[in-house]
């Protein structure tokens, strides 16, 4: 048995491991495609799905890169998906079903804007799209069962009842077993939802939208091609203190219940995303499946502790690095050094 120490040493990391897809949804003229340009700095193309992978802003990654003199820096990533036609096309709905979360873009600019009713309309369309799939699947399940409903039929009945009552599936009182069955049909209303208020200069998120994320999409789209610092300075002149990308990704992480852990060393500093409550072996598996299979232990230190120590070597010398086993639950900002056997 060979024991390998891996900050990232050993097997090559899985590129794109754990990356989440965020599907953008909105009625025509909501500014959905403008938002896509604003947060991804990528142009949109009519008639085809627009996909853009963007790094998750995280200043901790830059700090650790400098501290450990890493040769490579890699941020966590998310992929935004803007599909043509949206909910009005079968292709658009099919692509949105592949997303991990949905961001509903609501127009809060111009005359005649009615954000609350627009949001309600989009949510109704999402439920109707799900109802069509659930009803078809239920008919097939009942026909197959021939009078003896199985777990699939029971789960589909529960979903249909909720949708008939205009309750999105994420809010329905579904059993874990029923929810597991339904995920196989990729219902749109079972996915986490983020509401994005597309604002105009000088306005703020309307109270009726609750905890919606406010983004000045038109302004940010105009500065999308500028250098980061120049763009941030110009946005601040317009009163935009938090760039839309940062606000939207933070909301997506909350909705998906994700946390970030980090790995650092001379070769590379990298940020990784895992679900809240992930164990150390599960986090190791995000880096590479071999690390999870052969997991022995993890050397762990919190980001703030490492920065206070000045370097990983100094942290170890001061006894600040802990040894954790298979039951350890990874915390936000943990820096892991995995030991595994092959």
What are φ and ψ of residue 98, in 5° steps?
Answer: -85, -10
Q: Is residue 280 part of a domain?
A: yes
Question: Which pLDDT value is given to residue 175?
Answer: 93
Q: Is residue 318 part of a domain?
A: yes
Strands 258-263 and 322-324: unpaired
Question: Which pLDDT value is given to residue 228?
Answer: 65
Structural domain for 335, as ranges: 3-14+258-341
Q: What is the CATH number of the domain that holds 319?
A: 3.10.20.30
Q: How far apart are CA 122 and CA 327, in angstroms?
A: 42
Q: Is residue 192 part of a domain?
A: no
Q: Is residue 299 part of a domain?
A: yes
Question: Which pLDDT value is given to residue 220?
Answer: 77
Q: Is residue 164 part of a domain?
A: no
Question: Which pLDDT value is given to residue 103?
Answer: 95
Are the C-beta atoms of 185 and 137 separated by less than 8 Å?
yes
Q: How far apart are CA 115 and CA 55, in angstroms?
A: 29
Would you state the structure tokens that stand for residue 69, as one six-digit string?
């003199």
Q: How far apart are CA 143 and CA 127, in angstroms?
A: 24
Q: Is residue 297 part of a domain?
A: yes
| Residues, the chain | 342
- Helical ranges in the chain per DSSP H: 32-40, 59-68, 90-97, 115-145, 151-164, 176-183, 217-222, 228-237, 244-256, 280-287, 289-293, 303-309, 312-317
Q: Is residue 319 part of a domain?
A: yes
- b/e for 259-269, b at 16 or more Cβ within 10 A? bbbbbbbeebb
Question: Which pLDDT value is given to residue 151?
Answer: 75
Q: Is residue 326 part of a domain?
A: yes
Query: For the chain, what is the domain count?
Result: 1
Question: Which pLDDT value is given to residue 9?
Answer: 38
pLDDT tens per residue across all 342 residues of the chain: 333 444 443 444 544 456 899 999 999 889 888 888 888 877 655 556 688 898 998 999 999 999 999 999 999 999 999 987 667 777 788 889 999 999 999 999 988 899 999 999 999 999 999 999 999 999 988 887 676 667 788 899 999 999 999 999 999 999 999 999 999 999 999 999 999 999 988 888 999 998 899 998 888 777 666 656 666 666 666 666 667 778 888 899 999 999 999 999 999 999 999 999 999 999 999 999 999 999 999 999 999 999 999 999 999 999 999 999 999 999 999 999 999 997
Sheet holding 50-55, edge to edge: 50-55, 77-82, 20-25, 101-108, 193-199, 213-215
3-state DSSP call for residue 221? helix
3-state DSSP call for residue 279? strand
**Within 10 A of 274 (CB to CB), how many other CB atoms are there?**
22
């Amino acid at each position: 048995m060979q024991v390998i120490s891996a900050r990232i040493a050993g097997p090559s990391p899985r590129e794109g491991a754990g990356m989440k897809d965020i599907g953008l949804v909105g009625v025509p003229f909501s500014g959905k495609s403008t938002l896509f340009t604003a947060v991804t700095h990528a142009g949109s193309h009519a008639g085809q799905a627009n996909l853009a992978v963007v790094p998750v802003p995280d200043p901790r990654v830059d700090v650790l890169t400098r501290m450990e003199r890493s040769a490579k820096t890699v941020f966590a990533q998310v992929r935004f998906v803007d599909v043509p036609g949206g909910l009005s096309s079968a292709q658009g709905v099919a692509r949105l079903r592949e997303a991990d979360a949905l961001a509903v873009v609501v127009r809060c600019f111009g005359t005649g804007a009615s954000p609350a009713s627009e949001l309600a309309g989009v949510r109704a369309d999402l439920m109707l799209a799900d109802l069509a799939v659930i009803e078809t699947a239920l008919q097939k399940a009942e026909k197959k069962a021939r009078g003896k409903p199985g777990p699939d039929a029971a789960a589909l009945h529960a979903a249909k009842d909720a949708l008939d009552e205009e309750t999105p599936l994420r809010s329905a009182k579904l059993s874990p077993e029923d929810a597991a069955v339904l995920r196989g049909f990729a219902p749109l209303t079972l996915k986490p939802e983020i509401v994005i208020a597309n604002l105009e200069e000088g306005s703020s998120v309307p109270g009726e939208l609750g905890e919606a994320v406010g983004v000045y999409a038109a302004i940010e789209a105009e500065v999308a091609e500028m250098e980061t610092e120049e763009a941030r300075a110009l946005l601040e002149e317009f009163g935009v203190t938090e760039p839309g990308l940062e606000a939207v990704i933070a909301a997506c992480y909350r909705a998906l219940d994700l946390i970030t852990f980090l790995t650092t060393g001379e070769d590379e500093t990298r940020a990784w995303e895992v679900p809240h409550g992930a164990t150390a072996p599960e986090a190791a598996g995000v880096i590479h499946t071999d690390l999870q299979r052969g997991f022995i232990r993890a050397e762990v230190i919190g980001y703030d502790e490492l920065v206070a120590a000045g370097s990983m070597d100094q942290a170890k010398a001061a006894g600040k690095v802990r040894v954790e086993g298979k039951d350890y639950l990874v915390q936000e900002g943990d820096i892991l050094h995995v030991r595994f056997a092959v």
